[in-house]
Amino acid sequence: MKLLTYDDPLAFACKAEPILSEGEDVYSLFNGVLQAIKAGKVKDPFMATVELDGCVIALFQMTPPFPLNMIFTDERHMDSAIDSLAEYLLSNKIEPPSIISLKPWAERFADSWTAKTGQSSKVIMDQGLYRLDNVNETLEKSPGNYRLAEDSDSALLEEW
C-alpha cells in the first residue's frame, strides 16, 4: 500500500476521474473541485491517492480553507489508507480544517485523527443526498403552459 501525492492535476485526474464517473451523484463535489483545479482556479491543492497492487483504493483532495474530501473504493483497506494519510498530513504539518465524505468514512478518519493528535472532533453538518433513479412516465401532466412569471404572480410566488 502506497500513498502518492500529486502536483499535476492532469495526472491526478487520470487516477480519479474513472472512479468519480462511477459514482457521479455521490462524488459530484469532488469532481467539481477537481475540474476547478484542472482549470487553474485553485492554488496549492492537496491531491493524493492510496494504491494497492496498482489499484486506487482511496482518493484525497483538499483546497484550503475548504474540507478534506475523501473517497474509498475498497473499504477492506480503509483503516490502513486513513492511517497512511494521517501520518502523511502530520509529518508534513498539514492540518485539515474539516472533513467531507460519506459519514462512516469521515467518522473513521476523525477517530484516527483524534487518536493520533488528541484533538476532539464534532459533526458540523450532517448532509444527505437525493437521487432520482427513474421517472414515472405514466403520470398525467398538469394543465397549463410554461411562461415567465409576471408582476401579477407576486402574491402566489410569495405564498410558495
| 29 pLDDT above the threshold of 80 | yes
What's the whole-number average pLDDT of the chain? 93
Tell me what the mean pLDDT of segment 108-123 comes to.
91
Please give the distance of CA 90 from its chain centroid, rounded to a whole number: 21
Cell output for 129: 443526498
Looking at residue 142, what is its pLDDT?
Answer: 85
Looking at residue 140, what is its pLDDT?
Answer: 86
| 74 pLDDT above the threshold of 80 | yes
* Domains of the chain with CATH codes: 2-120 (3.40.630)
75-109 pLDDT tens trace: 999 999 999 999 999 999 999 999 999 999 999 99
| 27 pLDDT above the threshold of 90 | yes
Is the pTM higher than 0.85? The answer reads: no
Q: How distant, in Å, are the alpha carbons of 46, 76, 107, 155 from that of 33?
A: 11, 27, 22, 39
For residues 46 and 81, what is the distance between their CA atoms, to the nearest angstrom? 16
Looking at residue 125, what is its pLDDT?
Answer: 82
Looking at residue 66, what is its pLDDT?
Answer: 93
Per-residue confidence band for 126, with pLDDT thresholds at 50, 70 and 90? confident
For residues 100 and 62, what is the distance between their CA atoms, to the nearest angstrom? 10
Looking at residue 55, what is its pLDDT?
Answer: 96
| 129 pLDDT above the threshold of 80 | no
Count of alpha carbons within 13 angstroms of residue 45, beta-carbon side: 25
Using a 10 angstrom Cβ sphere, with 0-12 exposed, 13-18 middle and 19 or more buried, the burial of residue 99 is: buried
